């Protein structure tokens, strides 16, 4: 419907500009009105044209209205205020959407052409040092839904997970597992303060024991030989003292890493591989259970091993974007908007995380994805400028990288993190509340806002639960058709479409309006990267269906024409519910059982 009005305005605009001898055509803005007295849609096109044409807005509006092609869908057009043009539509224009939905099915409102462009979306990319926590889950639900939205609105989308398997955190994982493995072998050592203490490390240690027996066992004397006791934070320590001791603890962990490498030789790489594979296996399973998939899992370690990092640095050097200082290699990021230049390679020859990450972004661009989206946690906010600066330096483009930050999630147990001995994992949440509720709840608020996850509400089977309320609308519709079959009746879609003029009560008009609004809602959610827009739409559509269900009969045995018209309408509603829920990665059950229903 909106597209049709847009075409009418485009024709009028082209005619007016040709008459005026100018090509100063503004973008046509057409919006649904919030008040019925102003019609169904409104445009400010005349106000935009007033200055270029040198005429009063109302005069321009009158000329535009005169040049509008006639349309059977438009009842009347009015000019309001300083020059707004209001469109009042015939009811048949709203009713026609039912036939459109039934004909297009899962494709209603979508554009699967891929002509909008190509985009690579990297999301989740949780460190492979333990299970995903609830914060990662929000990024997973958001990133996957954004990919679905973009793919449904004309984009060619590639989904990628970047495995950070080359940094120091992988060594910390290895020694954490090794200490627990040694315990299984009867060797007791103090666990490093900067290690990963949670129980999942013991499970991984058992896998090492199963694979290697005692082959990686070393005595406590050999491990601790020459190592001073690890410092601990005394009670009442100042912030400065705490920071100093933290650095000493990090140094202790580094010494332990070097000791493990020395004592284990090739066995260290085997230990590290089992630890990584085990954690990645858990992450992959959790994401699979969460209905999240990727086109590619890219390894940082493989990127480094392939020599691509060195090639990227050479490319930067050839372009005059890096320089040497104090034995380190620096990139000129300040010249491109960063607060200061950044180190790529430290004086000891070790590449920084930024260096490898930059090389990965270069790799993504080299693979033909000229638009990149990264979905990061909010704690990475300070990292955006340096990556954007580096990409701008390489490409000359400020728009090559789009970063979406995901704010924190809290449960009743508070914020989570892997260094805590006890934390709630995403798998725990999925097992407790289910995939559908978990994804829906993650998406109920804008990703830039903090989210309080009400797990008791999420697992409840009542209409107080938003996802249950929406899914129950779909199940109710399915139940109507089950009842029709039980009575020996049949739904005639063609007859229903032919009788759409019978849909004239307020509940039906409200549903028809929402069905017409779906394509624009989909496009807006994709353009703004806001899947919660779709959540709001679903809640409104479900509310409209429940209100309709509670007041009107659908199986009107003494009026076949009205029955088929109403069945056609609710069939279209069910289709749009399925479509929108599918974009969010949530199912549309055909049967549901409730604890209570507020009707």
| Calculated CA dihedral for residues 533, 534, 536, 540, nearest 10 degrees | 140
356 CB-contact burial (10 Å; exposed 0-12 / middle 13-18 / buried 19+): buried
Evaluate whether 122 touches 373 at the Cβ level (below 8 Å): yes
Give the model's pLDDT for residue 595: 60
Q: Which helix (H) or strand (E) holds 171?
A: helix 168-184
User: Domains in the chain, please, with CATH?
Assistant: 2-89 (3.30.1360.70), 118-163+294-452 (3.40.50.620), 168-281 (no CATH), 460-583 (1.10.730.10)
Task: Return the half-sphere exposure (C-beta side, CA atoms, 13 A cut-off) of residue 249.
Answer: 16
Q: 542 to each of 107, 180, 474, 497, 581, how far by Cα in Å?
A: 20, 52, 8, 22, 12
**Cα torsion 101, 103, 107, 113: sign:** negative
Paired strand residues for 330: 323, 343
Closest among 56, 46, 31, 92 to 499, alpha carbons compared: 92
Paired strand residues for 32: 41
DSSP state of 596: B
Paired strand residues for 377: 406
Closest among 171, 170, 122, 194 to 380, alpha carbons compared: 122
- Model confidence, pTM: 0.90
The stretches in the chain having pLDDT less than 70 are 412-422, 594-599
Evaluate whether 301 touches 165 at the Cβ level (below 8 Å): yes
Cα 218 to chain center, whole Å? 46
Q: 468 to each of 436, 482, 543, how far by Cα in Å?
A: 9, 20, 12
Cα 524 to chain center, whole Å? 15
Give the model's pLDDT for residue 395: 85
SS3 158: strand
Task: Return the half-sphere exposure (C-beta side, CA atoms, 13 A cut-off) of residue 501.
Answer: 2
């Amino acid at each position: 419907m909106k597209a049709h009005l847009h075409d009418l305005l485009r024709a009028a605009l082209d005619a007016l500009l040709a008459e005026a001898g100018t090509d100063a055509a503004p973008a046509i803005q057409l919006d649904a009105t919030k008040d019925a007295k102003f019609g169904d849609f409104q445009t400010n096109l005349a106000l935009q044209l007033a200055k270029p044409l040198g005429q009063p807005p109302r005069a321009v509006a009158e000329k535009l209205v005169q040049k509008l092609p006639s349309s059977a869908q438009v009842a009347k057009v009015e000019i309001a205020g300083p020059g707004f043009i209001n469109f009042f539509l015939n009811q048949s224009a709203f009713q026609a959407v039912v036939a459109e939905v039934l004909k297009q099915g899962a494709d209603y409102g979508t554009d699967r052409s891929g002509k909008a462009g190509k985009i690579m979306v990297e999301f989740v990319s949780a460190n492979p040092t333990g299970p995903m926590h609830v914060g990662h889950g929000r990024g997973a639900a958001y990133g996957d839904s954004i990919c679905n939205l973009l793919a449904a609105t004309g984009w060619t989308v590639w989904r990628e997970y970047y495995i950070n398997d080359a940094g120091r955190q992988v060594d910390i994982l290895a020694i954490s597992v090794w200490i627990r493995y040694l315990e299984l072998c009867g060797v007791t050592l103090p666990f490093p303060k900067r290690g990963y203490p949670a129980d999942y490390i013991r499970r991984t240690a058992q896998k090492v024991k199963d694979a290697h027996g005692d082959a990686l066992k070393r005595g406590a004397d050999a491990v601790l030989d020459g190592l001073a006791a690890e410092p601990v934070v005394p009670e009442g320590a100042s912030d400065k003292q705490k920071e100093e001791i933290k650095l000493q603890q990090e140094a202790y962990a580094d010494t332990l890493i070097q000791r493990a490498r020395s004592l284990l030789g090739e066995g260290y790489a085997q230990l590290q591989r089992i630890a990584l594979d085990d954690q990645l296996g858990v992450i992959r399973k959790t994401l699979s259970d969460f209905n999240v998939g990727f086109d590619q899992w890219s390894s940082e370690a493989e990127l480094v091993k392939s020599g691509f990092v060195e090639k990227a640095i050479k490319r930067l050097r050839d372009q005059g974007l890096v320089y040497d200082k104090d034995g380190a290699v620096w990139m000129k990021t300040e010249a491109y908007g960063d607060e200061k230049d950044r180190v790529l390679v430290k004086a000891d020859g070790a590449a920084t995380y930024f260096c490898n990450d930059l090389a990965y972004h270069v790799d993504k661009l080299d693979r033909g994805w000229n638009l990149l989206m990264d979905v990061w946690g909010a704690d990475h906010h300070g990292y955006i400028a340096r990556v954007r600066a580096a990409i701008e330096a390489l490409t000359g483009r400020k728009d090559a990288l789009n970063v979406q930050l995901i704010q924190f999630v809290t449960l009743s147990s508070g914020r989570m993190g892997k260094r805590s001995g006890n934390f709630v994992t995403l798998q725990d949440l999925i097992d407790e509340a289910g995939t559908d509720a978990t994804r829906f709840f993650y998406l109920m608020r804008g990703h830039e806002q903090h989210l309080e996850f009400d797990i008791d509400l999420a697992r409840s089977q009542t209409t107080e639960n938003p996802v249950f309320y929406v899914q129950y609308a779909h199940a109710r519709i399915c139940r109507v058709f089950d009842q029709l079959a039980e009575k020996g009746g049949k739904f005639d879609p063609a007859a229903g479409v032919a009788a759409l003029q019978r849909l004239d009560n307020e509940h039906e008009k409200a549903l028809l309006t929402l069905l017409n609004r779906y394509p624009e809602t989909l496009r807006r959610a994709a353009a703004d990267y806001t899947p919660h827009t779709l959540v709001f739409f679903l809640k409104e559509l479900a509310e409209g269906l429940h209100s309709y269900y509670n007041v009107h009969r659908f199986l009107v045995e003494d009026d076949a024409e009205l029955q088929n018209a109403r069945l056609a309408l609710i069939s279209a509603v069910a289709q749009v519910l399925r479509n929108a829920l599918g974009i969010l990665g949530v199912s549309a059950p055909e049967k549901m059982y409730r604890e209570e229903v507020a009707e």
